[in-house]
Amino acid sequence: MIRYGRRTVLDIAQLSLLPGRTLALLGPNGAGKSTLLRVLALLERPSAGRLTVLGEAVSDGERQRLELRRRMATVFQAPLLTDQTVMENVALGLRFRGIRGPRAEARARQWLERLGIAQLAGQLARTLSGGEAQRASLARAFVVEPELLFLDEPFASLDQQGREALAVELEAILREARIATVLVTHDRSEAMMLADEVAVLMAGRVGQYGEMPAVLARPASEAVARFLGIENLLPARVLQRDGNRGEIELAGQRFEVHLPDPTAATVLLCLRAEDVHLSPAGSTPESGSVRLSARVERVLAFGVPYRVQLDAGVPLVALAARRTVDRLNVASGTRLVASFDPGAVHAVAASGVEEGVGVPK
C-alpha cells in the first residue's frame, strides 16, 4: 500500500511474477502503474504491506535494498543518459559492478550491436535521436544481465514507426533472454505483444490479473472491458438461468451465455467489433449465429479496417475491410445483417445499468 498523506494511491492485495515471465501493468493515466513499479524496483518504500523480491523478504535495511537493486535494471520513459559517449553510457552499470576495461567494452559492444546502434558507440549521448537514445538505455539495462528488469513506458517518447520497430526487437530479446520483466504501459497492443501476464490497474487497485489472452477474452468488469477497448457493451435481460448459465435477450434475439452472477437480472455483453460480421440484408448467417437486422449509422475510415456504426435495436460497432465495405455498398442508411457467434460474447455484471433503463424489454 502507498499513501501520500491521507490519500491512498495504491492498494494491491496480492501480485506475483514468476521467473522468466513478463508482467504488464496496464491501465489509464493516473492508475498507479509507475508508482507500483517504483515500489517493486525498490525505488520507493511502501507505506504498508509485505514485499518479496528475487526470493528475499525486503526489509527496511538500505544495504539489502542496494544489493537487490544491483540484480535489477530499470528503463524509464526518458532515457536518462549521462553526458558521455554511447559506449560509456552502456558500460556504466558494469563499472558500478566492478567490471571495467576490455571485458566491459566487449559486453557493451555486444548489446550495441544487438540493438542496432554499434555505429554510434563513440557518439555523445546528447546528440542521439529519441529512438537511438532509448536503444542505448535498453542496451545499458541488458548489459548487466539483470535477474529482474523494469520497463516504465519505454516507447512513450517515440513516434509510431519507432515504437513498432523497437517493440518487435524487444519482444525477441525478452523471449530469448527469459528475464523476469515488469512492463508499465497504457498501450494494449504493447502489452499483447510483450507480456505473458497482465495486471489491469484501475484507480490504484488491480481490476483484473491473469494471463494476457484470458484477460482480453474475459474482462472481469465493465471498467476493465472499457479500458481494454471492447467496443460493444450491450445491456441484456436474463430470461432464465440454470446455475452459471442463462438465456438472455438482446434486441429480440435469445441465446445462452455464462452468467457472472447466477442471480443477475441484467448483464452487460462484451463483444469485440472484429467478431461482428456483416452480410447483405435478407441473407442467412452461419447456423448457430445470432442474427440482427441492422441499419448503418456511420462508416468511419480510421485506417484499415473500417469502423461501421450500426443500429441493430442496440448500438453496435463492427470492423470491416474495405473490400467488404465496397462489396456490400456500406454507407449511412444501408440495411444489413449483423451476426456473431454466441461464443464470442462475454457477460459481466451490469454495474452501470439500472433495471429497466436501456435494457431490451
CATH number at residue 68: 3.40.50.300
* Domain count across the chain: 2
Phi, psi of 214 (to 5 degrees): -70, -40
Does 213 fall in a domain?
Answer: yes
- Which pTM was predicted? 0.88
The answer to whether residues 217 and 234 belong to one domain is no
Contact 228, 346 (CB under 8 A): no
Q: How far is CA 183 from the centre of its chain?
A: 9
Does 361 fall in a domain?
Answer: no
The DSSP string of 176-244 is HH--EEEEEES-HHHHHHH-SEEEEEETTEEEEEEEHHHHHHS-SSHHHHHHTT--EEEEEEEEEEETT
Does 258 fall in a domain?
Answer: yes
The answer to whether residues 66 and 208 belong to one domain is yes
| pLDDT block averages, 10 residues each, the chain of length 361 | 89 92 94 94 92 93 94 93 96 92 96 96 95 95 97 90 92 95 93 96 95 93 94 95 92 94 90 96 90 96 88 97 94 97 94 39 32
Does 240 fall in a domain?
Answer: yes
CA distance 35 to 185: 12
The answer to whether residues 182 and 271 belong to one domain is no
The DSSP secondary-structure symbol of 124 reads B
The answer to whether residues 90 and 125 belong to one domain is yes
The answer to whether residues 322 and 243 belong to one domain is yes
Residue from 275, 278, 292 nearest 328 by CA: 278
Burial 127-163 (b: 16+ CB within 10 A, else e): ebeebbbbbbbbbbbbbbebbbbbbbbbbbbbeeebb
| pLDDT attached to residue 285 | 82
The DSSP string of 72-110 is EEEE-SS----SSBHHHHHTHHHHHTT--HHHHHHHHHH
Helix ranges, 218-361 (H) = 222-227, 322-327
Does 117 fall in a domain?
Answer: yes
CA distance 241 to 264: 9
The answer to whether residues 240 and 191 belong to one domain is no
At 250, which CATH number? 2.40.50.100
- Picking from 199, 222, 245, the residue at the C-terminal end of a domain is 222
The answer to whether residues 79 and 14 belong to one domain is yes
- Picking from 189, 222, 255, the residue at the C-terminal end of a domain is 222
Q: How many helices (H) and strands (E) does the chain have?
A: 11, 20
CA angle 293, 296, 301 (to 5 degrees): 140
Does 357 fall in a domain?
Answer: no
Domain containing residue 98 = 2-222
Phi, psi of 200 (to 5 degrees): -90, 115
The answer to whether residues 192 and 267 belong to one domain is no
The answer to whether residues 188 and 300 belong to one domain is no
- Picking from 198, 222, 246, the residue at the C-terminal end of a domain is 222
Q: Torsion over CA of 253, 255, 260 and 261, rounded to 10 degrees?
A: 80
Phi, psi of 150 (to 5 degrees): -120, 130
The answer to whether residues 213 and 334 belong to one domain is no
The answer to whether residues 202 and 309 belong to one domain is no
Does 354 fall in a domain?
Answer: no
Phi, psi of 115 (to 5 degrees): -100, 10
The answer to whether residues 243 and 218 belong to one domain is no
| pLDDT attached to residue 361 | 32
Does 358 fall in a domain?
Answer: no
